[in-house]
Chains A and B, each alone.
Chain A
Amino acid sequence: MREAKQPAGGPFAHGGGRVDRTMGLVLLALLPATGYGLYLFGWPAINLLVVTVLAAALAEAACLRIAGRRVWPTLGDGSAVLTGWLLAMTLPPWAPWWIGAFGAVFALVFAKHVYGGLGQNLFNPAMVGRVALLISFPLEMTRWLAPRPLMTEGAPGFLEGLEITFLGGAPADAVSGASVLGHVKTELSRGHTVSDALAGAPDRIQMALGQMPGSLGETSAALLLAGGLLLLVTRVIRWPIPAAMLGTLAAAGAAPHLIDPARYPDAMVHLLSGATLLGAFFIATDYVTSPATLRGQLIFGAGCGLLVFVIRTWTGYPEGVAFAVLLMNAATPLIDRWVRPRVFGRTARGRPLDHAATLIEERAGG
Chain B
Amino acid sequence: MKLFSIRGGVHPKGRKELAADVAIAPVGLPPLLRVPLLQHIGTPAEPVVRKGDLVKKGQLLAIGQGMVSAPVHAPTSGRVMAIGRYVAPHPSGLPGRTVTLKPDGQDEWADLPPPLDPETATPEEIAERVADRGIVGMGGATFPSAIKLNLGGRYDLHLLVVNGAECEPYLTCDDRLMRERADQVIDGILSMRKALGVGRAIVAVETNKPRAMEALRKAGAGLDGLRVVGVPTRYPMGSERHLVQTLTGLETPARGLTADIGVVVHNVATAFAVHEAVRLGRPLISRVVTLSGGGIARPGNYEARIGTPIEALIAAAGGLEDRTARLILGGPMMGQPLADPKAPLVKGTNGVLALRPAESGESAAQQPCIRCATCVSVCPCGLMPLEMAARIRKEQLDAAVEHGLMDCVGCGSCAYACPSRIPLVQLFNYAKGRLTAVQRARHKQEEIKRLARARAERMDAIARAKREQMDRRKAERAARKKAEQTAPEAAAEKRDQETVDA
Chain A residues near B (Cβ < 8 Å): 1-3, 6-19, 21-22, 73-74, 77, 79, 117-120, 238, 287-288, 290, 292-294, 336, 340-346, 352-355, 358-359, 362
State A171–B228 Cα separation when bound (angstroms).
78
Decide yes or no whether B254 CB sits under 8 A from chain A: yes
CB–CB A288/B169 < 8 A? no
- Asked if B250 and A344 make an inter-chain contact with CB atoms under 8 angstroms apart, the answer reads no
Query: Would you mind naming 8 contact pairs between A and B with Cβ atoms under 8 Å apart?
Result: A8-B426, A10-B332, A10-B333, A19-B370, A19-B420, A341-B379, A341-B382, A358-B250
Q: Which residues on the B side are within 8 Å of A73 (C-beta)?
A: 365, 367
Q: How many A-B residue pairs have CB under 8 A?
A: 182
Over the window 367-382 of chain B, the binary record of Cβ atoms lying under 8 Å from chain A Cβ atoms (1 yes, 0 no) is 1111111101101111
- Give the CA-CA distance A17 to B417 in the complex, in Å: 7
Instruction: Verify B407–A346 contact, CB threshold 8 A.
Output: yes
- B365 x A344 contact (CB < 8 A): no
If A1-B324, A19-B419, A345-B241 are given as contacts, then 12 extra A-B residue pairs at C-beta distance below 8 Å, sorted by A number, are A7-B362, A8-B91, A8-B429, A11-B412, A11-B415, A73-B365, A287-B373, A293-B376, A336-B384, A345-B252, A355-B256, A359-B262
Kindly list chain B residues whose C-beta atoms are within 8 Å of the C-beta of A1. Answer: 323-324, 326-327
- A13 B420 Cβ-Cβ under 8 A: no
Q: State the majority secondary structure of interface residues on B.
A: loop
Chain A at the B interface: SS class: loop
With A343-B381, A345-B241 already in contact, the answer to whether A12 and B372 are too (CB < 8 A) is: no
Query: A325 CB to closest chain B CB, in angstroms?
Result: 15
User: Does the CB pair A12–B328 fall under 8 Å?
Assistant: yes
Which residues of the other chain, B, contact A359 by a CB distance below 8 angstroms? 250, 261-262
Contacts of A117 in B (CB 8 A): 368
Contact B425 A11 (CB under 8 A): yes
CA distance A176 to B384 in the complex (A): 50
Known: A11-B334, A73-B365, A345-B251. A18 touches B371 (CB 8 A): no
A-B residue pairs, 5 tightest by C-beta = A14-B361, A11-B412, A345-B254, A17-B419, A292-B373
With the chains together, A293 CA to B376 CA distance in Å?
A: 7
The answer to whether A21 touches B419, judged by C-beta atoms less than 8 angstroms apart, is yes
A293 to B382, CA, bound (A): 10
The closest CB in chain B to the CB of A8 belongs to: B426
Say yes or no for B116: interface residue by CB 8 A criterion. no
B152 on the A face (CB < 8 A): no
Mark the stretch among B185-193, B335-343, B469-477, B481-489 that contacts chain A.
B335-343
Q: A343 contacts B361, CB within 8 Å?
A: no
Is B86 close to A, CB under 8 A? Answer: no
Contacts of B383 in A (CB 8 A): 341, 343
Residues of chain A within 8 A (CB-CB) of B241 are 344-345
B193 CB → nearest A CB, Å: 21
Nearest CB on B from A83, distance (A) = 13
Residues A341 and B384 in contact, CB atoms below 8 Å apart: yes
A344 to B361, CA, bound (A): 29
Once A11-B334, A292-B373, A359-B261 are accepted as A-B contacts, the answer to whether A346 and B254 lie under 8 Å apart by CB is yes
Encode B211-250 as 1/0 by CB contact (under 8 A) with A: 0000000000000000000000000000001100000011
